[in-house]
Amino acid sequence: MIQNKAGIHVRPSGVIMNEVSPYEGKVILKKEDVEVELTSIMALLSLGLVQGDKITIHIEGPDENKKAEKLVELFQHNFDYPGRESG
């Protein structure tokens, strides 16, 4: 379940994709009836994940369990980025 108050926006998506990008296998994310392969930040953002959303992670490739654990940790993480100051 997504824990971040602001959902999975651009900054957390970057952190998540840094974990996914070098992976030699396939990572598929599903929210309700929408499924995407995580190949880019745009693919992840297209799910519009908000706090409380439940997702399914499907991984095919080396060390699937280890990668799944890391991704679950990231999706459940409460990212606390400071707000931008105007001026």
**What's the CA gap between 51 and 64, in Å, rounded?**
25
- The active-site residue, picked from 1, 4, 7, 9, is 9
Q: Which two tokens stand for residue 68?
A: 């799944």
Mean pLDDT, to the nearest integer, of 62-70?
Answer: 94
9 is catalytic: yes
What integer pLDDT is reported at residue 81 of this predicted model?
A: 65
Q: pLDDT at residue 86 above 70?
A: no
Instruction: Establish how many alpha carbons lie within 13 A of residue 85's alpha carbon, considering only the half-sphere containing its beta carbon.
Output: 1
Band (79; pLDDT cuts 50, 70, 90): confident
What integer pLDDT is reported at residue 80 of this predicted model?
A: 73
Measured CA to CA in angstroms, residue 36 lies from 8, 15, 86 at distances of: 15, 18, 35
pLDDT tens digit sequence for 5-64? 889 999 999 999 999 999 999 999 999 999 999 999 999 999 999 999 999 999 999 999
